Structure 1
Amino acid sequence: MTQSTQWVREAISLLDADANRSADTHLHRFELPKQWGIELYLKDESVHPTGSLKHRLARSLILYGLVNGKIQEGTTLVEASSGSTAVSEAYFARMLGLEFIAVVPKSTSTEKIELIEFYGGRCHLVDQAGQVDAAARELAAGPGGYYLDQFTFAERATDWRGNNNIAESVFAQMSAERYPIPSWIVVGAGTGGTSATFGRFVRYKRHDTKVAVADPEGSSFYEGWRTGNMGYSTGVGSRIEGIGRPSVEPSFVPGVIDEMIQVPDAGSLAAMRLLRAKTRYFAGGSTGTNLYAAFQIIAGMLQRRERGSIVTLICDSGERYANTYYNDDWLADQGLDLAPHTAVLERFLAEGIWED
């Protein structure tokens, strides 16, 4: 066995041990009126060691590079990321003793940049979100560089059939609930990897579960899915960090998605804050996007007199957004008025009626 092969084996063992410690995150119930006959669950991915859903993705992307012979001892890992993926990749790079460079837009929250640097990563800032891919490719083209490329490899790096993926974890945790097979799974899309994993898993297991993707303002995924045009581009980034893209990314798999819901940014942040008020769970904006869409789906189920369960995700912690989404001055600067959306959400929870 060569020294290089031994290093790769030890690196994979370290990643497997991390998965063993952290793959089964908590599944919380969000209390709805009992007479509705509908249960809502929140899979809390914020409790991962690096604080977000992207912990799973980062581990899978690095494992994918290792088993394909792309990552060796001394490799410099490079990623194009708006923040959370890079935070998690920096954590794993440090674990393996590898250098890590994150290419991030200048608009990325200070909290996320500090977290990347806390885990030993280095940030390369670009002016706009649309520039991150080209800059990352250029940096990785140097000797010993490897581009992790979450937007291409997310859908294939995770084993959707099992192996501690998020879908397998959810269905195992739901097994003792009143409605163990969810009627709906609701997720956002940043790379498309999470929706692809859930969509493939439910088909492989032959579950009667539908997958809905909640998409924020400015994102290309909704229109790409609606029209079938995978070249569709809005050309603008999303204010909801971690989800939404200026162009449809290669990892987005539209054929496994049953429904997409466009969510206004003010609605995402109103739902995020409502979650904090109702449950004390402190989550970020993408969690609010998920919750806003989940409430709309539940409203439709109520109209059709359906019963069942819905599962969505707490994607990351709200502490990363103390200076933005939880800051009223920032909201005012962005021209975001949460009050009308908060009223919609409060009426829905009280009466089961959804009115945009």
Structure 2
Amino acid sequence: MNYSTSVLEIIGRTPMVKIGNGRADGGPLMLAKLEFFNPGGSIKDRMASHILQKAVKEGKLKKGDTVIDNSSGNTGVAMAMVASILGLKAIVTVPDKTSKEKVDLIRSYGAEVIVTPSDVDHEDPRGCYMTAINLAKEHGYFHMNQYHNQDNVMAHYLTTGPEIWQDTEGKVTHFVAGIGTGGTFSGTTRYLKEKKPSLLAVAVDPVGSIFAEYIKTRRVGHAEAYKIEGIGSDTVTEALHPQLVDDVITVKDGDAFETARELARREGISIGGSAGGAIWAARKVAEKLTKDDVVVVIIADSGTRYLSKCFNDIWMKEQGFLKETPEVL
């Protein structure tokens, strides 16, 4: 009989599907790697599974222990799912801009969710990052530390990169991914560049995040508010290896959300806002490419986690991303 003994065994090996590249005159083959096929529904399953299983094997974690990390949602879901299988308790600190769908999903795995203000500085003890760190120190919890843990990077070096290389038969020429912690981008790019040094890796950052300026100048600017969840940052992370970035493209909230909505309605693929931003950026890259190029874009999660946000017309209008449609009499 063909079956798995745990959902941990079916993380990865996600499919790729051809999507429109935004051009009417041909251009490159564009492939979307659909990470919402992971059992926890996002690319973060790879990281959480790798980090927590490794910690158990090394004796750093045992059944009944508590793991904690900050998250915009997907890492929290993945950590809670993996923790439930390994017999661990999980606490997730999230910013208050996290969608209700993701908060409820985290709780469905039995994890505790602590909602924190999102309009505070990175080092503010009220924010999700410092709340997780302080609770870990105070109670001796295992801090997964997704921002700075090199095992985050390694999870994608060992899985995401090899999968893309194998499934494109080594023909991938461009890799495009949003950067949140930077782990997906860094691990995948490192593997692909080892296989093909000519590969061009493009990072995608929301307007308001500090990453784009840091990558270009190595200076840390001041972060501003943005609505896209899962990518961008108000601090430099060690999981991002900037020397691997060939180009960085900034995307506005509205462009990311509209691209996500358009893909669902035209190609039947429901994706989150961060993936919408990645596709928007990939189409910018595609403007200068030929039919011989192959662009792979990471689709971090699905639109089902944002039904109350970018797929909700009322929310989109309230945020100024969707214009009122005149009533036809």
| TM-score calculated relative to the size of structure 1 | 0.82
Hey, what does 2:253 align to over in structure 1? 265
Note closer, same or farther for the CA distance 1:211–1:126 as it changes in structure 2 (3 Å cut): same
Could you tell me which of 204, 216, 228 is aligned with 1:240? 228
Distance 2:155 2:36 in 1: 21
Tell me whether 1:186 sits opposite 2:176 in the alignment: yes
Measure, in 1, the Cα distance between the counterparts of 2:153 and 2:57. 10
Let me know the Cα RMSD of the aligned residues: 2.3
Residue 145 of structure 1 corresponds to 141
Aligned to 2:15: 26
Matched residue SS, 2:50:
helix
Q: Which moved more, 1:127-136 or 1:64-73?
A: 64-73
1:283 maps to what in 2?
271
Q: CA separation in 1, counterparts of 2:111 and 2:241?
A: 30
What's the offset of the Cα at 1:238? 3.4
Can you give the 5+ residue segments of structure 1 that lack an aligned partner in the other structure?
Answer: 1-14, 340-356
Deviation at 1:64, TM superposition (A): 3.9
Question: Does the 8 A contact of 1:193 with 1:252 survive in 2?
Answer: yes
The separation in 2 between residues aligned to 1:62 and 1:87, in whole angstroms, is 14
- Could you tell me which runs of 5 or more consecutive residues in structure 2 were left unpaired when the two chains were aligned: 325-329
Q: CA deviation at 1:155?
A: 5.7
Q: Of 150, 154, 165, which aligns to 1:171? A: 165
Residues in 2 aligned to 1:122 and 1:57: alpha-carbon distance in whole angstroms: 20
Match in the other structure for 2:108: 118
The CA deviation string for residues 163-207 of structure 1, in whole angstroms up to 9 with x for no partner, is xx11111111112xxxx4212100001100011012211222234
Name the stretch that deviates more: 267-276 or 133-142: 133-142
Alpha-carbon distance between aligned partners in 1 of 2:179 and 2:150, rounded to the nearest angstrom: 11
Shift of 1:160: 5.4
Distance in 2, matches of 1:194 and 1:35, equals 31
Q: Is residue 92 from structure 1 mapped to residue 82 from structure 2 by the alignment? A: yes
Q: Any conservation in 2 of the 1:181–1:207 contact (CA below 8 Å)?
A: no
Partner secondary structure for residue 36 of structure 1? coil
Q: Which runs of structure 2 are paired with 1:309-328 in the superposition (5 Å)? A: 309-328=294-313
Cα distance in 1, alignment partners of residues 92 and 157 from structure 2: 30
Look up the equivalent residue of 1:219 and give its one-letter code: S
CA contact (8 A) 1:155 1:192 kept: no
Which is bigger in relative contact order (C-alpha 8 A, separation at least 6)?
2
Aligned pairs (5 A) from 1:284-303:
284-301=272-289
> Which structure shows the higher helix fraction?
1
Q: Secondary structure at the match of 1:138?
A: helix
Distance in 2 of aligned mates of 1:28 and 1:21: 19
Structure 2: how far apart are the matches of 1:126 and 1:306?
47
Report SS of the residue matched to 2:39. Answer: coil
Equivalent-residue separation in structure 1 for 2:317 and 2:156 (angstroms): 41
1:334 to 304, 319, 326: 319
* Percent of residue pairs identical: 28
Give the drift of 1:126.
Answer: 1.1
Q: Offset at 1:336?
A: 2.0
Between stretches 283-292 and 269-278, larger displacement belongs to 269-278
Letter in 2 for 1:264: K
The alignment partner of 1:172 has SS state of helix
| Secondary structure of the structure 1 residue equivalent to 2:138 | coil
Q: TM-score, normalised by structure 2?
A: 0.89
Aligned length: 314
- Determine helix, strand or coil for the equivalent of 2:76: helix
Aligned residue runs from structure 1 range 337-348, under 5 A = 337=322
**In structure 2, C-alpha distance between the alignment counterparts of 1:21 and 1:252, rounded to whole Å:** 26
Change (3 A) 1:156 1:46: closer
* Per-residue deviation, residues 61-105 of structure 1 (Å, max 9, x unmatched): 213433444222221101111111000100001101111000111
